Each structure stands twice: as C-alpha cells, then as structure tokens.
Amino acid sequence: MKPEILMLRGLLPRQTAQLDEQYVCHRLDLADDREAMLRDVAADVTAVITSGEIICGAALMDRLPRLGMVACFGVGVDGIDLPYCQARGIAVSNTPDVLTEDVADIAIGLTISTLRGITAGDRYVRRGDWQHGPLPLSTRIGGKTMGILGLGRIGKAIATRAEAHGMTVVWHGRHDQPDVQWQRFPDLAAMAAAIDILMIACPGGPATRGLVSREVIDALGPSSYLVNISRGSVVDETALVGALVGGRLAGAGLDVFADEPNVPAPLLDLENVVLTPHIGSASRETRDAMAQLVVDNLDAFYAGRPLLTPWPFS
Ligand code: NAP
C-alpha cells in the first residue's frame, strides 16, 4: 500500500513524477470540492506538502489523525502551526540553503533597481518619454549604509553582496553573533535612523508581525529606502504606503506583500517603487532543488531515516 500524501500545492513535473511513483497524492489545491476530498482521504493521509504562505493550521491538521509529517516547499514556515505540530509530534521539514543565493540576488536587484531607477527607466523608454528629455537623476548605491533586519542565511548572503557593491553593512537581530564582523544595532528604530536602506530578511509569522512599524518607517525618513524580501506581514503595510505616497520615504523595492497576490493600489502608480511577485526563489534551478528536498525529506520520513532538513523545534 502506497502512503497517502495531501498536497496543498504542487511541485515541479520531475518531482511530481517521483511522488506519483511512490505515493498516492491528493491535490487539495486542485480539488473542485475540497470538503469532499478531505472527507474521502483524511483518515489515510500521513503527510502534507505545503509552502510557507499557505495556511496549514490546526483546523486542517485536526482532521488528519494519522498525520506524521508536514513538508514545506520553502524556508519560511510561517503558514504552519508549529506549536501544534510540536505538541502532536508531527515532524516538519523546510528547504533552507538551496534558495539563499537566489533570494539574495533578488534583494540586491531590487535595491539597485529602486535606487538607480532601472524599472522606472524601462517604463520611461517604453512610454516614449525619452524623446522629451532624460530620466531624472537617481542615487548611487555605493557609499550607502544598508541595515539588514534578520542576519540569517539570506541576510548574510545579502550582506556580502552589499559590501561588494561598496555599501556599509549594519544589522539588527534578537541575538548577538560574535563571529559576525558587521555592527549590530540592538534597537531596530535606532538602526533605521542611521541607515540609507532597510533590508528586511527575517522570518514572517506571529513573532515578527508589524515589526517594521510606523515608528521604524518614520525613523528611516524621506531620503531612505526600504527593501523587503522576507514576508509582507513583517511591515505595517498601511504605514509604508502612507509614507511612500506622502514622500516620507524615498522609495521601496518589494517582493512580498501582506495579502498576496493583492498589492495596495497606491503603490502601482509610484515610480520610486519596484514591485516583484514574490520571486525570491523563483529560478528553475532553485525551485528544482527545493522540490527535490521536499521529496527527499518525505522519502526519509517514510523510510524511518532522519529528515535532511528538519525544522528545529526548540
Ligand atoms: P534564517 O537563516 O533562519 O534567518 C532568519 C534570521 O532572522 C535569523 O538570523 C534570526 O536570528 C532573525 N530573526 C528572527 N526573528 C527575528 C526578529 N524578531 N527580529 C530580528 N531578527 C529576527 O532564515 P533564512 O533562510 O535567511 O530566510 C529568512 C526568511 O526569508 C524566511 O523565513 C522567509 O520568510 C524569507 N524568504 C523569502 C523568499 C522570497 O521569495 N522572497 C524566499 C525565501 C525566504 P535570531 O533568531 O537570532 O533572531
């Protein structure tokens, strides 16, 4: 009997074929009638495939009495009720490391595009505005100070790239990291007041909800920029939009939003804002590696081996 897996999202074709060979996969995300599917399969499901932004909470997991593992396609596990999993002894895996470099590339790409006006310039050319004169001057990235909120795997990869571009790096996190050479600000608002670019690279979830508050955004001020490749939930989006519309922030590069795929309408009209549709890890190579890690973790779980990348419940 093949083990039965409930899929809250699909993987790539290569890994879908691997899954189909070994498991019975129920695509809840594609079901016309999700309730009917859950009624039919819930009793036999032993693993769930999800991703960071999808809600995998107690309401669903309560209906899966034999659930032993949640495999997350992504490093962020903010959609998963982790305390619930821990209490029930449900293993959780995610996909760290394999996406780090790609997300850092997008973070730096957003920074350059926002400060130097690459996407604004592209629109300028396409609209025919170049016929009437040059694009207004932008600002250089070299010499700027980038403050990184969340100096983890991705934060560090961003930091080395930022330094290579001539920026000074400082950071804010909950714990000191003695091996790190960059200055740490124990207070986020104090860091915001001292930097040109706030780079948000911490996890989402309840612990960081609204961490980049109105106070932090105000501390950044009208000549500073905000770049977010973490989660929309980390930022007070209403305050961010207000600051951008009101000219109290110089610009923003945003890969993530509070209510994806919905983007606050006022941002769509702002030339100093670069918007990308949550593409931090979205290269073919990285998505393939992430999907493979999901399958490899599931294989390990069903073989009774240690997971390759277990979520480290504390
Ligand atoms: P990681 O290695 O766990 O790093 C997260 C860092 O954030 C840690 O250094 C952690 O340090 C810090 N942190 C946690 N809570 C914090 C808080 N309240 N205040 C300040 N710092 C805090 O994770 P990662 O692999 O770098 O990934 C980071 C996040 O990037 C993911 O969780 C995900 O949300 C996001 N992400 C986005 C994309 C995208 O497509 N845009 C793709 C992948 C990942 P302490 O625990 O010491 O505080």
Select from 97, 154, 158 the residue to mutate for testing ligand 1; criterion: most ligand atoms less than 8 Å from CB.
154
Report the C-alpha gap between 155 and 197 in whole angstroms.
13
The two domains 4-96+284-303 and 100-275 share their CATH topology (first three levels equal): yes
Q: What is the per-residue pLDDT for 257?
A: 98
Q: Of 231, 248, 271, 305, which residue is the catalytic one?
A: 231
For domain 4-96+284-303, say whether CATH 3.40.50.720 is its number.
yes
Ligand 1: nearest atom to the Cα of 203? 32
Alpha-helical segments (H) within the chain: 13-22, 34-41, 58-61, 82-88, 100-116, 118-127, 153-164, 188-194, 214-220, 237-245, 265-268, 284-303
CATH of 100-275, one of 3.10.270.10, 3.40.50.720, 3.40.50.620, 3.90.1150.10: 3.40.50.720
Rg (CA), the chain: 21
Q: What is the per-residue pLDDT for 314?
A: 80
What is the domain partition of the chain in residue ranges? 4-96+284-303, 100-275
Q: Consecutive sets of 10 residues in the chain, 314 residues long: mean pLDDT of each?
A: 97 97 98 98 98 95 98 97 98 98 98 98 98 98 98 98 98 97 98 99 97 98 98 98 98 98 98 98 98 98 98 91
Residue 89 CB contacts under 8 Å (≥ 6 apart), including other chains: none
Report how far ligand 1's centroid is from the alpha carbon of 231 (Å): 9
| Residue found under tokens 């945003």 | 254
